[in-house]
Amino acid sequence: MKLQSVEIVNFRPYRDSHLDLTDRDGSIHVVEGDQGGGKTSLHTAIQWGLYGGDGPGTNYSEHWNERAKQDREEKMSVEIKFKEGERSYTLIREIDRFNHTQGRAYEETTLIGNTNTYSDEEAQNQIEEILPEQLKEFFFLDGERIQRLIEEDAGQQVKREIETVLKHRTIINAQNDLEDLLEDRLIPRRDKIEEEASERDEIVQEISEYRDDIKDLKEQNEDDRDKIQEKNKILEETREELEELNEEKIEEINDLEAEIQVLQQDKVKILSELNQSWKELRYAILFDDVADLKQELKRQIKEYDEQLSEIERNQIIYELTEEAREGECPICGNDDIEYLKQHDHEDHDENLKEQITERIVELREMRDRLDSVEPPEDAPGDKQVRLEEITSKIEEKQDRRDELLDELGGLPEESERDTLEQNIKQLENDIRDLREDIEDREKKIQKIQQEIKKLENKREERSSNKDLEEVTDKIGAAKTAIEKLKTIREKHVREKRKKIRDEMNEVFDQVAQSEFMNERYKGLDFRGTPDEDDSYVLQLVEVDGETKDMVNHQPSAGESQLTALSFIFGLNKYARYSSTVVFDTVAGRLDLTNSEAQGEFFASLDEPLLLLVTDSELRDLGKSVQQEIGAHYEIKPEGKDSKLKKVK
């Protein structure tokens, strides 16, 4: 970046000033000004023009020109023209809107190139590419400020400067971005996941407990189902028992009782018959005589019947003979009376007939009476056998009944039946209760399962240990990357350490030309070994090779400036960027010899320089600088403001 011109409007003491660095040949441009004239303001204006940042945007009242403020001229700008290689650019950074209430102003940046125009962020990106802001320390120098680089605690800063120049910015950005990623995202995420994982574990534990509950409930249900089965079995048995008590055996016993009763009745009857049989026994004994008598009676009756029939026949014959005497024979129709005489002698005694008839009636009555006498069917012996049989049956039935009663323990009493019925009722109640318990548990199980479902959903919403593992792995990977990048950077810096030391010694040799410096110091070095924390503290090396005790014997201002300048320009060779170096307070506390040596060094540089110097500083820089001067301006007062005026 080769500066061509700078135009400043309403910035600090400059109301409207222009600096043209192209109107004369020469690589060293000079702006000469008294102390307080505006050299540092010009230095700041160019940096703000390039990089903005902590300039007027945020503290505009500090930078806003006092007279512009009084005139309410709300405009502030810096316009820089520069060349990068063959390309020409115009960069305009301006403020034309102020918010006095908030104490802010609004910057606008425009970069006009040969072919393209960029605005704001795009413009800034282009500037970054041309000359990164991080490197501005190496191109916008302040003779007093660079001295801090040799302070005792500046080792880390020196190291950072080295890293910046060695283009470690990519690595540093990667490290910083990875750190940001860790701090802002991955570690909070891990913490959240850990918290969620812990909640998840609690949920998992809760689910596990619920599942145990379900298991217990199911086991209880199984037990109760077994109990129901068992009780059902007992119930069935009890019912059977009750049924048996009520029906079969009792029925059999009742049947036996009935049969015994019938048999008893039969027995009574048989006994009666036996008595009767004993009574009729005489009939049995006389029965043959009766039969003989009945036979005799029948014979006599027959005999009397025959006699009676003879008498009746004879009577008929007599009557018929009587009739025949009066005519012909009624029997043969013969009218020969003589013939009839043979029938005249037939006997037909009426008295006898009457006697016989009476006798027959008597005999028949006797016969009938005998016929009415039935012989006994059974003998007493038979009845006795029958009686014994019945008695035996009765005894048999009674034995069976007694046996059944023994089995039942006697006839079931009402209380026993009640007990059984109560038992049945109790069993039925128990079974119902058990079923209700099971049902309640089933409902409870369903409820728990719903709860588990909810918890499972909740658990799914929570990050798992797998998520934790992933983010932990990611954190590990990020840390590994950061560590490796750090190792790479440090190794690179260590490798370059010696070369940078050589470069800065080369510069030191050129700029430290005074007698004292030559007598006392051999050169510069970094303290200690590359692995030590303060290994980048800059050290002056005395002629005997010993490093100067810079802790107990602080270097002078001039020594400090030369050391820092040597380091900056030595390192600048690694920067690989080409730019006009803008140097404020060049000589500082340098003596004439060293100042001239510095002037010679400046004249030897390839890079163009813009030196912001006092008249004495310019003089002390010597002829070498004078011969190389290109643009030459003076800062002149213009009322309370400053104005850049070209030196003829």
Partner 1 sequence: MTGIDPDIEDILDEEVKDFHTKQMLREILDWEDQQLYKTRRRGKKDALEGFLDNYLEDKK
Residues that bind partner 1 (CB under 8 A): 121, 124-126, 128-129, 132, 166-171, 173-174, 177-178, 180-181, 184-186, 470, 473-474, 477-478, 480-481, 484-485, 487-488, 491-492, 495-496
Shortest Å distance, C-beta 555 to partner 1: 32
Q: Report CA 555 to chain centroid distance, whole Å.
A: 69
Cα(552)–Cα(500) distance, rounded to whole angstroms?
Answer: 26
Shortest Å distance, C-beta 576 to partner 1: 9
CB nearer to partner 1: give 121 or 606. Answer: 121
Q: Give the three-state DSSP class for 344.
A: coil
Shortest Å distance, C-beta 492 to partner 1: 6
Shortest Å distance, C-beta 129 to partner 1: 4
Shortest Å distance, C-beta 488 to partner 1: 5
Instruction: Work out the number of other CB atoms within 10 angstroms of the CB of residue 270.
Output: 23
CB nearer to partner 1: give 131 or 452. Answer: 131
CA proximity to 79, closest of 128, 20, 129: 20
Residue 558: half-sphere exposure toward Cβ, Cα within 13 Å: 16
CB nearer to partner 1: give 156 or 173. Answer: 173
- Unique residue bearing structure tokens 């009415």: 372
Shortest Å distance, C-beta 482 to partner 1: 10
Q: Tell me, what amino acid is at 559? A: E
Residue 379: half-sphere exposure toward Cβ, Cα within 13 Å: 3
Shortest Å distance, C-beta 46 to partner 1: 19
Shortest Å distance, C-beta 502 to partner 1: 16
Q: What are the angstrom distances between the C-alpha of 576 and each of 214, 280, 524, 602, 643?
A: 75, 168, 23, 18, 35
Q: Report CA 53 to chain centroid distance, whole Å.
A: 50
CB nearer to partner 1: give 173 or 422. Answer: 173
The CA radius of gyration of the chain, in Å to the nearest whole number, is 78
Cα(366)–Cα(293) distance, rounded to whole angstroms?
Answer: 9
Shortest Å distance, C-beta 632 to partner 1: 34
CB nearer to partner 1: give 168 or 632. Answer: 168
CB nearer to partner 1: give 126 or 614. Answer: 126
Shortest Å distance, C-beta 147 to partner 1: 30
CA proximity to 579, closest of 4, 44, 48: 4
Give the max Cα distance, the chain. 244
CA trace torsion 558, 562, 563, 567 (10° rounding): 150
Q: Tell me, what amino acid is at 511? A: V
Shortest Å distance, C-beta 48 to partner 1: 15
Where residue 222 falls (left for φ over 0; alpha for ψ -120 to 50; beta otherwise) is: alpha
Q: Is the dihedral of CA 458, 462, 464, 467 positive or negative?
A: positive
- What residues contact 645, with CB distance under 8 A and at least 6 apart? 633, 634, 635, 636
Cα(491)–Cα(377) distance, rounded to whole angstroms?
Answer: 150
The tokens describing 462, both together, are 């929570």
Task: List, as one string, the DSSP characters of 264-299.
Answer: HHHHHHHHHHHHHHHHTHHHHHHHHHHHHHHHHHHH
CB nearer to partner 1: give 84 or 584. Answer: 84
The answer to whether the beta carbons of residues 611 and 583 sit under 8 Å apart is yes
The answer to whether the beta carbons of residues 163 and 172 sit under 8 Å apart is yes
CB nearer to partner 1: give 389 or 470. Answer: 470
Shortest Å distance, C-beta 581 to partner 1: 21
CB nearer to partner 1: give 109 or 277. Answer: 109
Shortest Å distance, C-beta 468 to partner 1: 14
CB nearer to partner 1: give 167 or 527. Answer: 167
CB nearer to partner 1: give 186 or 242. Answer: 186
Pairing of strands 521-526, 609-613: unpaired
Q: Is the dihedral of CA 150, 154, 159, 163 positive or negative?
A: negative
CB nearer to partner 1: give 83 or 189. Answer: 189
CB nearer to partner 1: give 175 or 580. Answer: 175
